[in-house]
Structure 1
Amino acid sequence: LVRILQDRGIFKTSLGSTATACAAVDDVTAWCVLAFVVAIARATSVGGAAVNVGLVLVFIILMLFVIKPKLPGWLGQKALERPDPSKTVLAVVFGLVLVSALSTEFIGIHALFGAFLAGIVMPTAAGFRDKLVVRVENLSAVLLLPVFFAFTGLRTQIGLLNGAQDWLTCLVIIAVATAGKLGGSALAARLTGIKWRESLQLGALMNTRGLMELIALNIGYDMGILSQHIFTMLVIMALVTTIMTGPLVTFFGKTRAMAA
């Protein structure tokens, strides 16, 4: 989404800011829901599900209200103010990420959720989080992210959709997903007083399925919740709705009649 906004030169506009904020809230909510769903799905009984959910809540509280306030002191003010994080600081950061990921895996939810929480608790003082992003972004963007997308592509077996019924089902999934996210976002924006044109553009931007959706699909597939058939349909849906974003934003932007 951010790349689309930057490419179109609207990242710093009110529309871009609103879309970015909504996407951030959407992703955080999705991570939380995903964590609870995985905790329940991995349980073997109702009691086990309750225990897993309780452990998830305890871990979240521990990370947000214990680790986060103490982490700046552990790293040290000088380390936070350095132009570039030192090797020692990077080792501590990656160690925290690994421990957090292993903890959530041990609890019964996916390791990715622990890594996500570790990112949330990173200090923001002196721009430390931004400097940390600069250090790790190149590695993740050049190596890790392409590997993940390639891995997802290898799992996507389009050949399984070998009949009209399969493709019709896939089209229905795309239509429902688009109506739910584009239509819902546009309607909510309109109810807050935003003009129809900007509301529809916001809906089109929110309709983008990014990395979060692919992560959720892969977790669902790994756990056996999604069959390869359904997994393929949902990946196609994510790709199609993302490809639709640019043309729809342009189309709604040119529709002056809807500006009122």
Structure 2
Amino acid sequence: MSFASLHPLSQLLLQLVTVLVAARVTGLLFARLGQSAVIGEIAAGVLLGPSLLGWIAPGVFQTLFPASSVGTLQLLSQIGVCLFLFVVGMTVDVGHLRQKTPAALVISHASIVVPALCGALLSPWLFPSLAGPDATPASFTVFMAISMSITAFPVLARILDERGLSATALGVMALTCAAVGDVTAWIMLAGIVAVTQEGAWAGSIVTLVRVAVFAIVMLVGVRRLLPRWMGSGSSPEAPLGQNVLVAALALMLVSALTTELIGIHALFGAFLAGVVMPRQGTLRQQMVVRIEDFSAVFLLPLFFVVTGLRTSITLINDLQGWAICAAIILVATAGKIGGTYVAARWTGMPRPDAFALGVLMNTRGLMELIALNIGYDLGILSPRIFAMLVIMALVTTALTGPLLTWAKRWR
């Protein structure tokens, strides 16, 4: 039977097998090279797209990923990202963030503001030739600022765990700053999505007010009622039951649906649902384990492939394009590491630790890709700048391991 005549279900199953195997193999390969496995999984998505497979074997690429099948892959990938952000929300301890030390407050804000300003200053140079069809100077500037300031909290947590740094002062500071950065980035993204979707400031203000009301209801009302509804306070060590798991997933889906209907992305609702999950006992930890493996192993690789299908490195086909790409990487890295380093030194942190913290905060990875895909869907990013920013996310994340090793030798 010809692959060209496959039934849609057979086509999807073939895609799933290809994606899962490619993601696992490249993830293991990158892990053996001293990198985080997630970098290899992201790279697998890019390699399966037009940048490599579509370039060296266009017939195979068209057979494996026909245009008619991309919509199904995209929907499945969005479910995976919603589950992933639900887990990320559960790992963000809002109570802990409110009790940050003055040093953490200064460093976290500097690690966001300095690279964001660098991105904003870079955007007027990029806008004329690289903005998307629906971009305005303001929306493009804000989006470049966001793309420069994001830190990948989950990838950072994995890197710290792999290097035995999670419980150290440096690791705790890095995770705190990254958590603040993630929350700030999502608030900024919500604002730019609202403005872009509505097309007018009056409509966007109404949308943002609705989002604020919904967030207050979730953070104040639902968050207080959930322990009683889910029974998490009755037996702190009780195993996670199916009814509780279904209730949590239903809340996540309803929250995601609500933010989608309000006028911003469903991903914001999924993240917010994770933030309000009860923290008494072990319910949250059990839920993270149950959901994270399925979303990370099965569904997130689909998101990497959808990103890879949109990433055509061949669009950067001249010296000027690669010069711009290199400039973006340089500005993003210098802004993130430099801003963090200066703030950390100002608070009294030793030079090696301040540099190591800057390197850790320069980890972008998956959270960056999620933001970039939102910008692409909104028409703010053109395919060419999208490819450049994907390369920037991969390079800055890949630099974390080698630069951390260098910082350790500096001590």
Task: Summarize the alignment of residues 121-140 of structure 1 with structure 2, pairs less than 5 Å apart.
Answer: 121-140=276-295
> Could you tell me which amino acid in structure 2 is paired with residue 211 of structure 1?
L
- Aligned: 1:69 with 2:231: no
Q: 1:119 aligns with which of 257, 271, 274?
A: 274
The one of the two structures with greater contact order (alpha-carbon pairs below 8 A, sep at least 6) is: 2
CA contact (8 A) 1:79 1:89 kept: no
CA contact (8 A) 1:35 1:113 kept: yes
Q: Give the corresponding residue for 1:5.
A: 160
Deviation per CA, 1:24-53, whole angstroms, max 9, x where unpaired?
111111111111111111112221011011
Q: 1:56 aligns with which of 194, 198, 211?
A: 211
Q: Give the corresponding residue for 2:263.
A: 108
Distance between the aligned counterparts of 1:145 and 1:22, measured in 2? 25
CA contact (8 A) 2:235 2:281 kept: yes
Q: 1:235 aligns with which of 371, 385, 390?
A: 390
Distance between the aligned counterparts of 2:238 and 2:258, measured in 1? 31
> Could you tell me which amino acid in structure 2 is paired with residue 24 of structure 1?
A
Higher deviation after alignment, 197-206 or 144-153: 144-153
Distance between the aligned counterparts of 1:180 and 1:141, measured in 2? 30
Deviation per CA, 1:178-230, whole angstroms, max 9, x where unpaired?
11111111111111100111100100010011221111000010111111111
Q: Which runs of 5+ in 2 are unaligned?
A: 1-155
Q: Give the corresponding residue for 2:180.
A: 25
Distance between the aligned counterparts of 1:207 and 1:115, measured in 2? 25
Deviation at 1:127, TM superposition (A): 2.2
Q: Give the corresponding residue for 2:332.
A: 177
Task: Summarize the alignment of residues 132-171 of structure 1 with structure 2, pairs less than 5 Å apart.
Answer: 132-171=287-326
Deviation per CA, 1:210-256, whole angstroms, max 9, x where unpaired?
22111100001011111111110000000000011111111122124
Q: Which runs of 5+ in 1 are unaligned?
A: none
Distance between the aligned counterparts of 2:202 and 2:235, measured in 1? 43
Question: CA separation of 1:219/1:80 partners in 2, compared to 1, >3 Å: closer, same or farther?
Answer: farther
- Aligned: 1:98 with 2:256: no
Distance between the aligned counterparts of 2:348 and 2:311, measured in 1? 41
Deviation at 1:7, TM superposition (A): 1.9
CA contact (8 A) 2:237 2:282 kept: no
Distance between the aligned counterparts of 1:178 and 1:71, measured in 2? 41
Distance between the aligned counterparts of 1:174 and 1:80, measured in 2? 50
Deviation per CA, 1:76-132, whole angstroms, max 9, x where unpaired?
247764533211111111111111001000010000000000000000011221111
Distance between the aligned counterparts of 1:119 and 1:193, measured in 2? 34
| TM-score of the aligned structures, taking structure 1 as reference length | 0.95
Distance between the aligned counterparts of 1:249 and 1:216, measured in 2? 25
Q: SS at the partner of 1:176?
A: helix
> Could you tell me which amino acid in structure 2 is paired with residue 125 of structure 1?
Q
Distance between the aligned counterparts of 2:369 and 2:230, measured in 1? 33
Q: SS at the partner of 1:109?
A: coil
> Could you tell me which amino acid in structure 1 is paired with residue 335 of structure 2?
G
Q: 2:194 aligns with which of 11, 27, 39?
A: 39
Distance between the aligned counterparts of 2:259 and 2:235, measured in 1? 27
Distance between the aligned counterparts of 2:238 and 2:321, measured in 1? 54
| TM-score of the aligned structures, taking structure 2 as reference length | 0.61
CA contact (8 A) 1:80 1:128 kept: no
Deviation at 1:146, TM superposition (A): 1.6
CA contact (8 A) 1:213 1:238 kept: yes
Distance between the aligned counterparts of 2:263 and 2:233, measured in 1? 37
Q: 2:353 aligns with which of 198, 218, 226?
A: 198
> Could you tell me which amino acid in structure 2 is paired with residue 57 of structure 1?
A
